Amino acid sequence: MTEQSLPFGYELGEDHALLRDNIREFARTVVAPGAIERDVKGEFPADIVRQLGEMGYMGICFPEEYGGSGMDALASAIVVEELSWADASVGVINSVQNSLVIDPILKFASDEQKQAWLPKMATGQWLNCFSLSEHGSGSDAGAMKCRAELKGDEWHINGTKMWVTNGAEADAILLFVRTEPGDKRNSTCILVEKTTPGLTVGKHEDKLGIRGSSTVELIFENCRVPAWNTVGQRGQGLKIGLTAIDGGRLGIAAQAVGIAQAALDRSVSYALERKQFGKPIADFQAIQWKIADMAVRIAASRALLYKGCWLKGLNKHSLHIPAMAKLFAAETASFCANQAIQIFGGMGYCREGEVERYLRDAKITEIYEGTSEMQRMTIGETLSHDPARVAATEK
Ligand SMILES: Cc1cc2nc3c(=O)[nH]c(=O)nc-3n(C[C@H](O)[C@H](O)[C@H](O)COP(=O)(O)OP(=O)(O)OC[C@H]3O[C@@H](n4cnc5c(N)ncnc54)[C@H](O)[C@@H]3O)c2cc1C
């Protein structure tokens, strides 16, 4: 598959359509059946992640020379959307692996590092996590306190990271640490293997949604990591982290589109089945309008998402399009999940109706990888202060 097999249109090319059909089949037959049970139990889908690795979906976006699938950003978005339709937890596990870790390694790591790490990541032998946030630094990522000191040829890392998706199960952590005390912008990106002494997994968050994905604290106590594991240049950490999140926004937009589409599909089926006043509720205009509003927003979200993927495939770095895609898709997911509950009535409010999960899962897409407020800031600032960048991506 070539980088640009997608024209920016509304019909997928043959390769992407085939990929969508394959991953959809897997999502609906293998992922969907246990999704509710995993949500109730807060259970990580280890077996599904293993199968995704074996099928090449855990390293979808990088070159075949490193054992990857050699596909593009659109392929990655299609995979995350289809998985999230079935289970948004599986969607984010996949998105973190591909967008937040593999992507920056491809961009910033040395050839030797890529040779050493990427084949394990491509096959899913290594599950990855991305660790930037701390208790005191979320939106303001530069305020991080976790620090590393270079002693000889080793980093000595001390501090606590928070909210790490995949953190409990991951084999490799893309970690961001302060390396020059007092200089807010000076941080460094280091790949840490989970088995490194001095690293422990702390608190597991008990969450509202995406309960099948783990979210944990990582504690570093004099954790010693070879200086060789530095990704990019010393002092480049924040740049690498924020670049990764720019790409990761497309993954979260895809997750949100998947949740929204699932809410719509369930709503249409239920509206045709459920009868009140002697006819299916789908015959009432009030219900049809809800379905129409959901469908319009999903189509618009997907169009923005595909545009972001298309730009990424062309190596045109856009800040505002991925931000727009994530913002609009996240709000669409919450909107659609809310509408689905309304269409299901009392059944929608109960677990038995199996749609309340969509609302709980949708909410996180408005928070992680940049809150909706931060997306609006990015869009507003780019449009106001960076017209050249906007023009380059709007041709
Ligand atoms: C389930 C889950 C998984 C996560 N996974 C990861 C992960 O894998 N790796 C990782 O590093 N992090 C992860 N995070 C952290 C996540 O990215 C942060 O929660 C998010 O960036 C917001 O930071 P915060 O929670 O500190 O909120 P804050 O930054 O404290 O924001 C609180 C509120 O203030 C608003 N706000 C803040 N600054 C501004 C401003 N300048 N202007 C206007 N409004 C503002 C925010 O929009 C928000 O509404 C995860 C979080 C959760 C809940």
pLDDT by residue (tens digit) across 169-216? 999 999 999 998 767 678 999 999 999 999 999 999 999 999 999 999
**Which residue has the CA at smallest separation from atom 50 of ligand 1?**
163
Collapsing DSSP states into helix, strand and coil, what is residue 124? Answer: coil
**Which residue has the CA at smallest separation from atom 4 of ligand 1?**
163
The predicted pLDDT at position 317 comes to 85
Atom of ligand 1 nearest to the CA of 165: 8
The predicted pLDDT at position 346 comes to 98
Atom of ligand 1 nearest to the CA of 96: 8
Atom of ligand 1 nearest to the CA of 370: 21
Amino acid in position 346? G
**Which residue has the CA at smallest separation from atom 25 of ligand 1?**
138
Query: 135 C-alpha to center of ligand 1: Å?
Result: 10
Query: 25 C-alpha to center of ligand 1: Å?
Result: 34
Query: 366 C-alpha to center of ligand 1: Å?
Result: 9
Strand partners, 129: 173
pTM: 0.96
Which residue ranges of the chain lie beneath pLDDT 70?
Answer: 1-10, 182, 184, 394-395
Query: 41 C-alpha to center of ligand 1: Å?
Result: 25
The predicted pLDDT at position 21 comes to 97
The predicted pLDDT at position 66 comes to 85
The predicted pLDDT at position 7 comes to 45
Strand partners, 193: 172
The predicted pLDDT at position 286 comes to 98
The three state secondary structure string of 232-249 is: CCCCCHHHHHHHHHHHHH
Q: Under a CB-based contact definition with an 8 Å cutoff, are residues 341 and 349 in contact?
A: yes
The predicted pLDDT at position 2 comes to 40
The predicted pLDDT at position 292 comes to 97
- Copy the structure tokens of residue 253: 């937009």
Q: Residues near ligand 1 with C-beta < 6 Å?
A: 96, 129-133, 138-139, 163-165, 207, 215, 364, 367-369, 371, 373-374, 377
Query: Which of 166, 366, 367, 379 to probe ligand 1 with, by most ligand atoms within 8 A of CB?
Result: 367
Rounded to whole angstroms, how far apart are CA atoms 258 and 88? 8
Number of other residues whose CB lies within 10 A of the CB of residue 382: 19
Q: Mind telling me the catalytic residues?
A: 369
CA nearest 173: which of 185, 181, 164, 182? 164
**Which residue has the CA at smallest separation from atom 45 of ligand 1?**
373
Rounded to whole angstroms, how far apart are CA atoms 229 and 208? 35
- Copy the structure tokens of residue 320: 């505002």
Atom of ligand 1 nearest to the CA of 374: 47
